[in-house]
Chains A and B, each alone.
Chain A
Amino acid sequence: EPEVTQTPSHQVTQMGQEVILHCVPISNHLYFYWYRQILGQKVEFLVSFYNNEISEKSEIFDDQFSVERPDGSNFTLKIRSTKLEDSAMYFCASRGQMGSPLHFGNGTRLTVT
């Protein structure tokens, strides 16, 4: 069964550094997402991406965040200057068409020290 893959599984970075989280969505999917989950808290929507542009973003997704789909397969989340409160699990997800469910990657655990 095709799956969403995320790398790395764990990223440790120092406050103020830039990080890029990588995702390869399922190949024939059209909608791409990033969510985050702070330990012990709910899954929070960050951004959705369709047709090579952001379709919606949450209030969490401020100017420090950006997404790219540089080559038609990868879907990256960049955090420009990480803060301690960015420490969380980041999940990438994709889906094929409107109304269909999301398929999640295994997540990247980001630890900002």
Chain B
Amino acid sequence: RKEVEQDPGPFNVPEGATVAFNCTYSNSASQSFFWYRQDCRKEPKLLMSVYSSGNEDGRFTAQLNRASQYISLLIRDSKLSDSATYLCVVIPPNNNDMRFGAGTRLTVKP
């Protein structure tokens, strides 16, 4: 099983739609979790951290399910500018590196 696994998509949704991505991780002792966004040929940029209790930032909601070892990202009222690749990032117990999922490609269409 891969350390971090994401559905690569692509997800093609109309503007205003709600879309959700999941990411599973293999190491149950993983410490911290993040969602990054990456635009084409650009560096990954932090979108939000994922807290145990779940957290929200505007239209974005992140959740962690430790029992099932996955994190999720929900985007409400999607905008054209949300089109990007969304990367799930997990910090394993050694805390020395961060493992990226392969990313989920989202395209929001007018």
Contact surface of A with B, Cβ cutoff 8 Å = 31, 33, 35, 41-45, 48, 50, 55-56, 89, 91, 98-99, 101-107
Q: What is the interface size of chain B, counting residues whose CB is below 8 A from a CB of the partner?
A: 24
Do the beta carbons of A98 and B95 come within 8 Å of each other? yes
Q: Inside 8 A of B57's CB, which chain A residues have their CB?
A: none
Total A-B residue contacts, Cβ distance less than 8 Å: 53
Do the beta carbons of B43 and A45 come within 8 Å of each other? no
Q: Inside 8 A of A98's CB, which chain B residues have their CB?
A: 31, 95
Do the beta carbons of A102 and B98 come within 8 Å of each other? yes
Do the beta carbons of A101 and B34 come within 8 Å of each other? yes
30 contacts between A and B (CB under 8 A): A31-B96, A33-B97, A33-B98, A35-B100, A42-B100, A42-B101, A43-B38, A43-B44, A43-B87, A43-B103, A44-B100, A45-B98, A45-B99, A56-B94, A56-B96, A56-B97, A89-B41, A91-B44, A98-B31, A99-B31, A99-B95, A102-B44, A102-B46, A102-B89, A103-B46, A104-B43, A104-B44, A105-B43, A107-B42, A107-B43
Q: Inside 8 A of A31's CB, which chain B residues have their CB?
A: 96
Once bound together, how far apart are the Cα atoms of A44 and B102, in whole Å?
9
